[in-house]
Amino acid sequence: MSDDSNVMDRNLALEAVRVTEAAALASSRWMGRGDEKSADQAAVDAMRNA
């Protein structure tokens, strides 16, 4: 595998982590409120905006 490919793979992995973290943080604000749909929507919105 070339160095350019390794860099691209690393960048893609870091972007996936960034999006996942944004979704987790957004949905965590809804924990314990009994509103699963709002938590899910917050996560989806965060992923789309990340």
Q: Identify the pLDDT of residue 1.
A: 58
- pLDDT tens for 3-39 read 888 989 999 999 999 999 999 999 999 999 999 999 9
So where are the chain's domains?
A: 3-49
Look up residue 32 and give its DSSP letter: T
Asked whether the beta carbons of 46 and 26 are under 8 A apart, the reply is yes
pTM for this structure?
0.82
Q: Identify the pLDDT of residue 5.
A: 87
Q: Identify the pLDDT of residue 16.
A: 97
How far is Cα of residue 46 from the mean position of the Cα atoms in its chain?
7
Q: Identify the pLDDT of residue 45.
A: 98
